[in-house]
A = this chain, B = another copy of it.
Amino acid sequence: MPRVVVHVMPKPEILDPQGKAVAAALPRLGFEGIASVRQGKRFELEVEGEITDEVLASLREAATTLLSNPVIEDVVALEVEDA
């Protein structure tokens, strides 16, 4: 079944407390040399049938309205796998 992967990240100007927490934890656990961490989301959508331009446009709309909050997040990528 074809799969679409949607990548969502907090906008650059938005504070990312989860990412900050990870960045602070890394050196405590012995992992040095990481300047910053941002945490976002990754969605894998299994699509029924073929992925046409129409389906993709609809998925892009779903990504920007339902999968992400456009006030604070950007859809940074939308990848089609096994199309």
Contacts and interface: CB of A to CB of B under 8 A. Distances in A.
Contacts of A37: 43-46
Contacts of A7: 42
A19 B67 CA distance: 10
Given A31-B58, A67-B22, A44 B1 contact: no
Interface of A: 1, 7-9, 19, 22, 25-26, 29, 31, 33-49, 55, 58-59, 61-62, 65-67
Contact of A40 (B33, B36, B44, B65): B44
A54 to B, nearest CB: 10
- The 10 A-B pairs at the shortest CB distance, nearest first, are namely A35-B46, A42-B42, A40-B42, A31-B62, A38-B44, A36-B46, A33-B48, A35-B48, A37-B45, A34-B45
